């Protein structure tokens, strides 16, 4: 790998070599290991995000590597592990089963009616738990080897195993959560590991001491009640309120500094791409009008780094199965890779 890196031209044509951005790194030589989780079994509106990791990978070689925030960031070494085909195959199987459950519930019928779907639900929950265990094992081993880790979903249920692995490495950390949705539902539609329950499940991890949510604009009363009753463990920044502050003359930089102020020293960024304006992610699973511009999210992350906090990991989820979505997703993954690396050297 040493000679391969020596011969590598970061200004040349992006190589399609099976790795993100065509970079000449492998698991051993890379500092950042990226895991794709092609899983969207519980998605409740539109399918396709299981192909998100593949779309990001396919789009990545056409990106230029110069990054204004960290020009030599690529030199840290970025390597994407092979997207597991067995998980993708299981996703297709259990996704079709989950569709039966969702259809039954949308008809206002009980799962126990004939044919009884309660065993199907139990099987889906067990399969989701298996994916969580798989990711926990992979990310734990990488962290123990001194690597940094990123995850590309799949739907937003994807990173739970990673959160669990981080909890073994850090006594406490916060999550900066970009999303149109709060994802604080308890076993939404009966799925314990639903994409709409990821942050509810994250709060079961005691090491996660703060959850800051940004861009929320599609939320239910139970989630609002949970946020209000969390004793500020969860702080929500609703999209409408953020926009109102900007309309009133406050700068976005000021808003960003207020958002990050309650976060602890160590922060994981959990980025659901539907937190952005849908023009940037038109094929995501649950698009919602409104949301952040891409540079607004980058500004928020820059202020996080400037504050002296450390990004200990990140995930990007809900990237749709289309070339444009993959293009935007690849840029987010690269920006966060560089800002995370920068946060460890400053």
**Quick one: tokens of 232?**
């500020």
How many angstroms separate the CA atoms of 162 and 164, rounded?
Answer: 5
**Quick one: tokens of 221?**
């009363």
In degrees rounded to 5, what are phi and psi of residue 48?
130, -20
pTM > 0.85: yes or no: yes
Torsion of CA 16, 86, 169, 257, to 10 degrees: 60
Which CATH superfamily does the domain covering 2-345 fall into? Ureohydrolase domain (3.40.800.10)
Burial class (CB in 10 A: 0-12, 13-18, 19+), 234: buried
The residue among 318, 314, 236, 239 whose CA lies nearest residue 273 is: 318
Q: Report pLDDT for 12.
A: 84
- Answer for the pair 38, 87: CB distance below 8 angstroms, yes or no: yes
- Answer for the pair 70, 31: CB distance below 8 angstroms, yes or no: no
How many angstroms separate the CA atoms of 224 and 204, rounded?
Answer: 18
Q: Report pLDDT for 4.
A: 62
Burial class (CB in 10 A: 0-12, 13-18, 19+), 310: middle
Q: From the first residue on, what is the mean pLDDT of each consecutive set of 10 residues in the chain (346 residues)?
A: 70 86 96 97 88 98 96 96 96 91 88 89 93 98 98 96 98 98 90 91 98 98 98 98 98 98 98 98 96 98 98 98 98 98 91
CA distances from 67 to 25, 59, 63, 246, 261 (A): 18, 17, 10, 27, 26
Burial class (CB in 10 A: 0-12, 13-18, 19+), 276: buried
- The runs of H, that is alpha helices, within the chain are 2-6, 52-59, 85-106, 118-144, 160-169, 198-202, 221-228, 239-247, 252-260, 294-306, 323-345
Spell out the domain ranges in the chain: 2-345
Q: Report pLDDT for 32.
A: 98
Strand 78-80 to 148-153 pairing: unpaired
Task: Concatenate the DSSP letters of all residues of 168-198 into one string.
Answer: HH-S-EEEEEE-SB----SSGGG-TT-GGGH
- Answer for the pair 291, 217: CB distance below 8 angstroms, yes or no: yes
């Amino acid at each position: 790998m040493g000679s391969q890196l020596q011969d590598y031209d970061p200004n040349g044509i992006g190589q399609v070599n099976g790795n993100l951005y065509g970079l000449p790194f492998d698991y051993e030589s890379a500092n950042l290991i990226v895991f794709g989780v092609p899983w969207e079994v519980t998605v409740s509106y539109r399918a396709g995000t299981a192909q998100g990791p593949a779309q990001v990978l396919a789009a990545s070689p056409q990106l230029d590597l110069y990054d204004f925030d960290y020009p030599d960031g690529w030199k840290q070494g970025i390597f994407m592990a092979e997207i597991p085909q067995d998980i993708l195959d299981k996703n297709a199987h259990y996704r079709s089963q989950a569709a039966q459950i969702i259809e039954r519930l949308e008809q206002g019928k009980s799962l126990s009616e004939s044919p009884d779907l309660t065993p199907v639900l139990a099987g889906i929950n067990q399969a989701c738990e298996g994916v969580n265990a798989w990711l926990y094992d992979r990310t734990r081993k990488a962290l123990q080897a001194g690597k940094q880790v990123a995850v590309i979903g799949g739907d937003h249920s994807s990173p739970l195993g990673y959160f669990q692995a981080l909890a073994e490495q850090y006594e406490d950390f916060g999550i900066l959560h970009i999303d149109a949705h709060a994802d604080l539902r308890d076993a939404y539609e009966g799925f314990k590991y639903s994409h709409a329950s990821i942050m509810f499940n994250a709060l079961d991890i005691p090491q996660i001491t703060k959850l800051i949510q940004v861009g929320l604009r599609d939320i239910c009363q139970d989630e609002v009640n949970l946020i209000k009753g969390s004793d500020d463990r969860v702080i929500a920044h609703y999209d409408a309120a953020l926009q109102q502050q900007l309309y009133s003359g406050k700068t976005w930089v000021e808003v960003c500094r207020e958002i990050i102020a309650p976060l602890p020293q160590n922060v994981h960024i959990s980025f659901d791409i539907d937190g952005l304006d849908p023009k940037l992610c038109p094929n995501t699973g649950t698009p919602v009008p409104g949301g952040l511009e891409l540079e607004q999210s980058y500004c928020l992350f820059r202020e996080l780094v400037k504050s002296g906090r450390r990004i200990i990991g990140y995930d990007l989820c809900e990237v749709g199965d289309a070339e444009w979505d993959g293009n935007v997703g690849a840029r987010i993954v690269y920006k966060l890779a560089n800002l995370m690396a920068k946060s460890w050297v400053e």
